[in-house]
Structure 1
Amino acid sequence: MDLDVYRQWMLSVGVSTRETITDILDWPTTYMPWVWIAIFGINFTLTQMFLFDGREWAPLSEIFSKSLILGPCIGIGFWLLFCSLITLIGWMFQRKVSWSRTFTASAWATVPYNVKGIVLIPQILLFGDELFARSTPELNQSATLTLLYLFFLLVDLLCIIWFYIVLVKSISVAHQVAVWKASMVMVLSLCMVWIISLEIFNTLFFPL
């Protein structure tokens, strides 16, 4: 497939979600959903390191190396589970739900989430190890760095909200159901992921 088509979909899926996902699902299956999920896995792993203060038990270089090596596998495993839950729960509203269509649509919905990886680069340059640490002495002593940190938290939050909006619309297109039904499917699937993560790993893994 022409790379220009991929680029066009990448730029439009976060804005014209329904039209873009419809076009994507009309094309033959490609490898791109797996690429987006692998990138999602890297960003997801780094997010967990951020939420659970990964710098307290590993140096920054190890955090990045493990995220780059293990992240794609974690992302694929997580998304296969999440997509399967979306498909199973979606059957309550639409009996003709397709797992492959759900996987493709939801994988492309991670494009806004993966913007977090781009936003992470200036944060690393500005905050260094303290971005993943519980103790942040340099950050606490600088009003400028504190304001920048809050700014990036806001950008991160907007990316997450954007991701969920696109995901709901993508599920709606793939399952051919109303947005409110797709919202219920997504919320119930997330709740199932949290229950599974609590039961197996005794912690909550947030897809944030």
Structure 2
Amino acid sequence: MLRFSNCEYLKTIWLQPRKTISELLESDKRVYILFVLLAGIGLRLDQSSNNNLADQTSMGYVLISALLFGPIIGLIAWFFYSGLTHLVVRWFGGSGTWRETRLVFAWSTIPMIAKLLLWIPLLLFFGSDLFTAVTPTIDSGIGPFSLFMLFGLLELILSIWFFVILSQGLSEVHGFSAWKGFWSVIFLPLALVVLIVLAVILIS
């Protein structure tokens, strides 16, 4: 079987996720723990942005909290979501182990780490606007606004690619089709949306 170097794994996971995951299953490369930690920093920055955290505290705290708490958030999210997803894929007839599911989740975060790299130019261009309700820099003209929207589009593409790699990886380790891998990924959030809608209907 084709053997990839560490750098080749990082490239092939984008377009050959099944082959790459298959190769990784035969190795013991625990470097994927680093991916989870880095992805957690991105998650923390996203949380801070969505909650307009800089309206309540300083930019320094926003960035330091991302570096300090982000890796912890990444680890917790990794164990929690990989565990729930593993239960779903086993229910769908998957044959892989939780270790394999965790490995797939970890390597699927490569696009999320790419999203983390986007924060560097975002912070340079827009600064605290990214974490406040009022955004004077972004709203200062068509140029800054268009640039901000371009970054948003890139982030959306990377988020979609995360789900593509995850679906393909799960299908590889659990021995079913890519479509079943896709449904196993979206089953939990879809079920949550349905429950929320039903709750709203019953309450109203």
Q: Same fold (TM over 0.5)?
A: yes
Q: Superposition pairs for residues 124-143 of structure 1, below 5 Å? A: 124-143=123-142
Kindly report the root-mean-square deviation, in angstroms, between the aligned alpha carbons of the 2 structures.
1.9
Query: Does the CA-based 8 Å contact 1:17-1:166 persist in structure 2?
Result: yes
Which residue of the partner structure matches residue 185 of structure 1? 184
- Give yes or no for contact 1:82–1:190 (8 Å, CA) kept in 2: no
Is the contact between residue 94 and residue 175 of structure 2 (CA under 8 Å) also seen in structure 1? Answer: no
Look up the equivalent residue of 1:20 and give its one-letter code.
T
Q: Distance in 1 between matches of 2:187 and 2:44?
A: 22
Structure-2 residue corresponding to 1:107: 106
**What SS does the aligned partner of 1:58 have?**
coil
| 2:168–2:178 Cα contact (<8 Å) kept | yes
Deviates more, 1:154-163 or 1:4-13: 4-13
Aligned residue number for residue 119 of structure 1: 118
Alignment of 1:126-165 (within 5 A): 126-165=125-164
Q: Distance in 2 between matches of 1:60 and 1:144?
A: 24
5+ unaligned residues in a row in structure 2: which ranges?
A: 197-204
Question: In the TM superposition, what are the counterparts of 1:39-118 in structure 2 within 5 Å?
Answer: 39-94=38-93, 96-118=95-117
Distance change >3 Å, CA 12–CA 95, structure 1 → 2: closer
For 1:193 and 1:42, locate their aligned partners in 2 and report how far apart those are by CA, in whole Å: 25
Segments of 5+ residues of structure 1 without an aligned counterpart are 199-208
Contact 1:42 1:67 (8 Å CA) reproduced: yes
Greater Rg by CA:
2
Match of 1:204 in 2: none
**Equivalent pairs: percent with the same residue?**
23
* Number of residues of Structure 1 aligned to a counterpart in Structure 2: 192
TM-score, length-scaled by structure 2: 0.88
1:20: how far off?
A: 0.7
TM-score in terms of structure 1 length? 0.86
Q: Would you say the 8 A contact 1:37–1:79 is kept in 2? A: yes
2-structure distance, mates of 1:138, 1:106: 36
Q: Structure 1 counterpart of 2:72, which letter?
A: C
Secondary structure of the structure 2 residue equivalent to 1:160: helix
Cα shift readout 1:83-125 (whole Å, capped 9, x = no counterpart): 0011111111225330001111121011011101111111100
**8 Å CA contact 1:102, 1:171 repeated in 2:** yes
